[in-house]
Amino acid sequence: MRSLLSIRTRGVRRAGAALVLGALLLAPATPAAVAAPAAAPLPADRHQPEGDPDVLRDAAPRGLFVGTAVDMAALANDPVYRERVGAEFSSVTAENVMKWETLQPERGRYDFAAADELVEFARANGQRVRGHTLVWHNQNPAWLAEGDFSRQELRAILREHIHTVVGRYRGQIWQWDVANEIFDDEGNLRQNIWLETIGPDYIADAFRWAHQADPRAQLFLNDYNIEGVNAKSDAYYELARQLRREGVPVHGVGVQGHLGVQYGFAPDTTANLQRFAALGLRTAVTEADVRIPMPADTVELQAQAQGYSSLLTACLRTPRCDSFTVWGFTDRYSWVPDWFEGEGAANLLDEDYNPKPAYREVLETLALASGRGRD
């Protein structure tokens, strides 16, 4: 049996000698300055046969939640954006406001204002919330990224953060991306502060601590470039299988779905999702967008529609693939132009909220699938 330590690593400093298998005692979290929003039951699937077939959330088959990442500045300042988020989607993901640099900008000082606002918006609109993210190598505050911590100290910092954040939203967040982007494209554990200081057992620790803080939340691994079967998705498959064997509460795997029309689309996405499902895991498409070299033409917009459809269809064909989330829905607020020079137009709607072929393709695919039940 392979242990987590047999998964390839490079340059691990002060790594633990083995995966910690024993259950860890729950430590009290540092209380937040602002009271947490009151917990309420998670919204049920709102799909209604008499709902509006021309919006995504009502066109979707029962059991599939259609979501978007939410830009909180746009939500506050753009009435059209706010209306479309509420009308079109049955789940929302915190694009940035649940990341470390926002939630804990200084050690021990938490700022939940924006995250609370998103949770309240979702409650008002009958939406579920995906929490993103508890452990990542990026968007960490300077005090954490530049700190010089012992293994014991950093492990305590991570546990306290997870207990505080997940505990605050206990019963209110449906799924958490617990461990985000922890492998490189070759299938090696990514070098980050957690691996280098704590060792690979930080992954199992994070899942256990999140489960202690909210036993009802579904806990996910999440990454890009794992849509198809490749070295990276193989690494996640082996990790998930090993964690499950060892009783670690990992419940799902999220494939992000950041695609580009110039690269084509993985032909084996369905097979990949289904092999995770065969392990007893949930799956989800968590961050879908399909970028285009600019300026976009008609052919590329049709190819973009095929990219979205390939992800959605794979999810629909996979048992317990229960959410399909786009990473923003309008080009007006897309992250893509700032990160991929010369590329853009990655979302379902253009900058003026007009639907593209991709929106119509997703809507039609959902409508065609809605006649059959989903677990």
The first and second tokens of residue 119, run together, are: 């949770």
Residue of 88, 95, 160, 181 marked catalytic: 181
275 membership: H or E segment, kind and range: helix 269-277
Pairing state of beta strands 175-180 and 128-135? parallel
Q: Pull the structure tokens for residue 208.
A: 């256990």
d(CA 279, CA 250): 11
Cα torsion 215, 134, 338, 189: sign: negative
Answer yes or no: are the C-beta atoms of 90 and 128 closer than 8 Å: yes
- The percent helix, strand, coil of the chain (3-state, each to 5) is 40, 15, 45
Token reading at 62: 């029962």
| Tokens read off for 24 | 């860890």
Nearest to 104 by CA among 51, 158, 50, 150: 158
Q: Give the active site residue among 95, 287, 300, 343.
A: 287
Of 134, 65, 131, which is closest to residue 320 (Cα–Cα)?
Answer: 65
Is 364 labeled as catalytic in the residue annotation? no
Q: Is 181 a catalytic residue?
A: yes
**What distance in Å separates the CA atoms of residue 227 and residue 230, rounded to the nearest whole number?**
9
Query: Which residues are designated catalytic?
Result: 181, 287
